[in-house]
């Protein structure tokens, strides 16, 4: 396991790790469901699926009936509503601003590697000035590959000029940990994110499972 004292960088997933975007994503889902006169989904049902983006949420809301609709039409309606209401209910997770301030003060490079489309990510991030010091941002369509492929992480490591074994990757989904492991990075499960049952995370084989962003400061 990596000696935390040798850590020179931290890369983060976005939704469910840095930002709690679930209520805005859920609102986009419910907008589409309402349009088709289908029952809306409550927050406790859509929150655990928020990290799976438009596809996961639409499949949750429509169930097997999704086969009866044109998926691209549903996705476009979802994304248009989401883009127009992108930061209505979205908040930074408690402890993130303190963590970012600590990383900046210690000159530890950091950045964001998300499967959220790059255009939406670029539209969302300016609402949170705390995130202005991010040194790299890779979206789900920035490269030819996305997580769980390690390419976005390897690209980001190059951009921040940090070796894989000296950089944490923090995320709240199995694809995050898989991508980190495939990039030979030490990995952290964001236990504060969209994880329904932390007991399920043991088979992800992450290096650490933490319950608050502030725990990363302790680790460093």
Q: What is the pLDDT of residue 86?
A: 98
Pairing of strands 91-92, 187-190: unpaired
pLDDT tens for residues 8-38? Answer: 999 999 999 999 999 999 999 999 999 999 9
Q: Decide: helix, strand or coil at residue 215.
A: helix
Superfamily name and number for 4-20+90-219: HAD superfamily/HAD-like (3.40.50.1000)
* Average pLDDT taken over every residue of the chain: 96
Closest to 63 measured CA to CA, from 43, 81, 36: 36
The pLDDT of 42-68, averaged and rounded, is 96
Q: Do 180 and 62 touch, CB atoms closer than 8 A?
A: no
Q: What is the pLDDT of residue 49?
A: 95
Is residue 1 scored above 70 in pLDDT? no
The pLDDT of 91-118, averaged and rounded, is 98
Q: What is the pLDDT of residue 145?
A: 98
The pLDDT of 166-173, averaged and rounded, is 97
Binned at pLDDT 50, 70 and 90, residue 3 comes out as low
Distance CA 34, CA 203 (A): 37
The pLDDT of 94-110, averaged and rounded, is 98
Alpha-carbon distances of 69 from 26, 31, 57, 161, rounded to whole Å: 19, 15, 15, 46
Is residue 92 scored above 80 in pLDDT? yes
Binned at pLDDT 50, 70 and 90, residue 40 comes out as very high
Is residue 5 scored above 80 in pLDDT? no
Q: What is the pLDDT of residue 169?
A: 98
The pLDDT of 160-178, averaged and rounded, is 97
Q: Where are the domains of the chain?
A: 4-20+90-219, 22-84
pTM of the model: 0.95
Distance CA 184, CA 162 (A): 12
Distance CA 14, CA 33 (A): 25
Binned at pLDDT 50, 70 and 90, residue 196 comes out as confident
Q: Which residues are catalytic?
A: 13
Q: What is the pLDDT of residue 176?
A: 98
């Amino acid at each position: 396991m990596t000696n935390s004292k040798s850590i020179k960088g931290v890369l983060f997933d976005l939704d469910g790790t840095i930002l709690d975007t679930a209520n805005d994503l859920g609102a986009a889902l419910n907008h589409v469901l309402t349009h088709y006169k289908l029952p809306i989904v409550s927050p406790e049902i859509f929150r655990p699926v928020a990290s799976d983006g438009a596809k996961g949420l639409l499949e949750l809301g429509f169930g097997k009936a999704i086969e009866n609709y044109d998926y691209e039409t549903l996705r476009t309606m979802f994304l248009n509503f989401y883009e127009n209401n992108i930061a209505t209910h979205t908040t930074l997770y408690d402890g993130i601003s303190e963590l970012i301030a600590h990383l900046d003060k210690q000159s530890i490079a950091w950045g964001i590697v998300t499967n959220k489309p790059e255009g939406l990510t670029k539209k969302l991030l300016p609402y949170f000035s705390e995130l202005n010091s991010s040194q790299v941002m890779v979206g789900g369509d920035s490269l030819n590959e996305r997580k769980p492929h390690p390419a976005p992480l390897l690209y980001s490591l190059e951009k921040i000029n940090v070796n894989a074994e000296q950089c944490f990757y923090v995320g709240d989904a199995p694809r995050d940990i898989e991508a980190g492991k495939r990039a030979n990075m030490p990995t952290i499960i964001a236990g504060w994110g969209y994880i329904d049952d932390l007991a399920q995370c043991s088979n992800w084989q992450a290096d650490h499972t933490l319950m608050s962003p502030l725990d990363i400061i302790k680790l460093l």
